[in-house]
Chain A
C-alpha cells in the first residue's frame, strides 16, 4: 500500500511540475507587453516601465523567471491581481467556498438522480423503462448547461416567479435564501453529472449482474431485491465511486458558465472577469487551483478505490 502510494506520488510530481511550467508559459502567448498593461496611465514614463520590469523580473531569462515564480508558488504566493492589487491567493480563498457550495449541491443532485436511475435501467435492461432512462441521460449529456440555465430562468423566474433569477447569498448569512439562489444552478450542473453517472452505473451494474456470485445468490434463494442491492450494487459502485470523484472535479469547470448566467461570485465568475480585465495572474491562479483540486481528487479516487476493493488492498 505504501509503496503503491509512493509510486503514485512519483507520477503526480512530474505531472504537477509540467503543469506549473505550462501555466507559467501561458504568459508568453500574451499579446502585448505586461509592463505596459500594468503601468496604466503612466505607460509613457520609461522609468516606471523599467521599474515594473525589474519587479516582475521580466528582464531575466525565462527559466529564471519560472524558477522564481515556482518558488513563490510553493510558499503559497500566487502573485497579485494586476487589476485590484490584491494577492491572487486571497481572491481564490474568497471565491472557493462559493464554488464549493455550488459543486457540492450539484454533486448531491447528480448522485441522487444518476445512481438510482442507472440501477433501475440495468435491472430493466431492454425494457421501455431502460430505454426512457437512456434517452433522458443522452439528453442530459447533449444539453449545453448554459442553455438549460437560461431556460430554467425563463420558466421558474420569469414565468412562474418562484425563484430569484440571479444573485447569491452566502450560506452563513441566510441558509434559506442561499439555497433559493443556488438550487437552479446546482440542478443545471447536477443533471450533467447525473447523466454521466447514470451511464456508468448502468454499465457497471450490467457487468456485476452477469457474475457467477449473482447466479449463486439467486440459486440459493436470496430475494431479488437483496441480490440487486447487496450483491450487485455494492460491487458495481466500486468503479462508480472513482468516476464520481473525477466528475466532481469537472463540476468546477462546468461552474464557469453556470456562475456567469446566475451571477454567482465563484471561481467561474472570477476567471471570466479576469479574462476581460486582462488580469492574467488571476487567470493563471484559477487554472492552477482547479488543476490542483483535480489532481488531489484523482488521488483521493485512487485511494478510495484501494479501500473499497479488498482484492487491491491485499495486493
Chain B
C-alpha cells in the first residue's frame, strides 16, 4: 500500500473497469471524429445538391441525405464538434465559476458562505434546462450564448460540491497542519485542499459534460443554439421532425450520435466514481 500512490491505485482500478474503458474508447472515437472531421467527412457538410434530396442510406451516402441534399454522415461528423465543444467548454466554464466560489464559501464561512449558499440554492431551484433556456433566450440565439447559458446553469452544482468538500477538508489534520505551518488561507486552499477534492470534482465534471451535451442538443433543437446551416445534432433533429414519415434516417443518425456519446460519458463517469471514491457505494 505504501508503494503505490492513491492516484496510481485509482488508475489501476479504472483500467480494470471494463465498462468505463469501453466508455473511454467511445469518447475518444468521438473526439477523433470531431478533430478529424475536415479530413474524414466524405462530403462538405454544407454543400447542397438538388440532385440528391432525401436519399435513403446507401453505399454512396452511408447515412443518407437531408432535405437540401446534404450528406448526413458528414453533418453528423461535423456536428460532433458543436456538441463536444459545448460540453467541454460549458463544463470548463462551470468549473471555473463554481469551484473558486465554492472553496471561498467553504473556507471563509460566516455571512459570505450564507450568501453564496443561498444564491446557489436559488439557482438550483430553477430546473437546469429551464434556466439554460431562459438565459439563452435573453442572451440571444447563438452557440456561444448557449454554451455560456449552460456554463452558468451548471455552476451551482460545483459550488455546492466544492463548498461541502472544502468544509470537510478544512477539519482534517493535513489542513490543520498546513495552517499551523503558517500557510495563508489561499495557499492552504489551492495547494492542500484543492488536490484532495479533485477526484469528486472530476467525476461530477464527466457526468456534467454528458448533461451539457444533452442541453446543447436541446437548445439547438429549440433553435437557441447552433444556427443553421452549421451542423449540430440538435438542429438536425429539429428539421428531421418534419420529414419523419418519409425520411426517418434524418432523425435516427443524429439521435444515435447524441445517445452513444452521452452513454459513453455516463459509463466513464460511473467508472471514475467507482475507481476514485471507494467510499461512495451510493447511486
Interface assignment of B118: CB less than 8 Å from any CB of chain A: yes
The reply to whether the CB of B158 lies closer than 8 angstroms to some CB of chain A is no
Partner of B125, one of A29, A142, A294: A294
Q: State the Cβ distance, B64 to closest chain A Cβ, in Å.
A: 15
Q: Smallest Cβ distance from A279 to chain B, in angstroms? A: 10
Closest to A275 in B: B137
Chain B window 119-138, contacts with chain A (Cβ cutoff 8 Å), 1 for yes, 0 for no: 10111011111110111011
Q: Which residues of the other chain, B, contact A252 by a CB distance below 8 angstroms? A: 127, 130
Query: Provided the pairs A138-B267, A154-B244, A272-B222 are in contact, do residues A254 and B129 lie with their beta carbons within 8 angstroms?
Result: yes
Q: Which residues of A contact B217 (CB under 8 A)?
A: 144, 146
Given contacts A253-B130, A294-B127, contact A30 B259 (CB under 8 A): no
Q: Report, as a range, how many residues of chain B touch the other chain.
A: 35 or more
> Which of A18-26, A82-90, A109-117, A228-236 forms contacts with chain B?
A18-26
Secondary structure of the B contact surface, majority rule: helix
Q: Is A52 an interface residue (CB 8 A)?
A: no
Mask of A191-213 contacts with B, CB within 8 angstroms, 1/0: 00000000110010011000000
- A30 contacts across to B, CB distance below 8 A: 138
Instruction: Digitize B123-162: 1 where CB-to-A-CB distance is under 8 Å, 0 elsewhere.
Output: 1011111110111011110000000000000000000000
Docked-complex contact B138 and A22, CB < 8 angstroms: no
Decide if B125 touches A139 in the complex (CB within 8 Å): no
| B-side contacts of A199, CB under 8 Å | 283
Whether A286 touches B251, Cβ cut-off 8 Å, given contacts A18-B122, A150-B241, is: no
Query: Is B245 engaged at the interface, CB distance under 8 Å to the other chain?
Result: yes
Contact with B along A148-192 (1 / 0, CB 8 A): 001101100010000000000000000000000000000000000
Q: Which of B140, B251, B259 contacts A154 (CB 8 A)?
A: B251
CB distance from B260 to the nearest CB of A (A): 8
Selected contact of B262 from candidates A142, A206, A260, CB within 8 Å: A142
- Interchain CB contact under 8 A, A290 and B127: yes
Q: Chain B's nearest CB lies how many Å from the CB of A69?
A: 16
Contact with A along B198-226 (1 / 0, CB 8 A): 00000000000010001001100111100
Pair B258/A275 contact, Cβ less than 8 Å: no
User: CB distance A26 to B251 under 8 Å?
Assistant: no
B255 near A: Cβ within 8 Å?
A: yes
| Beta-carbon contacts under 8 Å, B156-188 to A | none
Say whether A139 contacts B281, CB under 8 Å: no
Closest to B261 in A: A142
Distance A261 CA – B238 CA, assembled complex (angstroms) = 9
Determine the chain B residues whose CB is within 8 A of the CB of A298 once the complex forms. Answer: 125
CB of A181 to closest CB in B, whole Å: 17
Given A11-B121, A14-B118, A144-B217, A257–B222 Cβ distance below 8 Å?
Answer: yes
Contacts of B241 in A (CB 8 A): 150, 261
Check: B248 CB closer than 8 A to any chain A CB: yes
With most chain B CB atoms within 10 A of its CB, the pick from A29, A138, A147 is: A147
Is B263 an interface position by the 8 A CB rule? yes
- Whether A295 touches B244, Cβ cut-off 8 Å, given contacts A147-B251, A257-B221, A275-B133, is no
B251 touching A287 by the CB < 8 A rule?
Answer: no
B266 and A283 contact, CB distance less than 8 A: no
| A290→B127 CA distance, assembly (Å) | 8
Select which of B123, B223, B262 is within 8 A of A144 by beta carbon: B262
Q: Name the CB-closest residue of B to A288.
A: B126
- Can you list 5 pairs linking A and B with CB atoms under 8 Å apart? A147-B258, A151-B251, A158-B245, A257-B221, A294-B125
List residues of chain A with CB under 8 Å of any chain B CB: 11, 14-16, 18-19, 22-23, 26-27, 29-31, 138-139, 141-144, 146-147, 150-151, 153-154, 158, 199-200, 203, 206-207, 249-250, 252-254, 256-257, 260-261, 271-272, 274-276, 280, 283-284, 286-287, 290-291, 294-295, 298
Query: Apart from A29-B138, A257-B221, A280-B138, what 8 extra A-B contacts exist at CB < 8 Å?
Result: A16-B122, A144-B217, A146-B221, A253-B127, A256-B130, A256-B218, A272-B222, A275-B133
B contact residues vs A (CB 8 Å cutoff): 118-119, 121-123, 125-131, 133-135, 137-140, 210, 214, 217-218, 221-224, 237, 240-241, 244-245, 248, 251-252, 255, 258-259, 262-263, 266-267, 270, 281-283
List 3 A-B pairs, minimum CB-CB distance, nearest first.
A253-B127, A147-B255, A142-B263
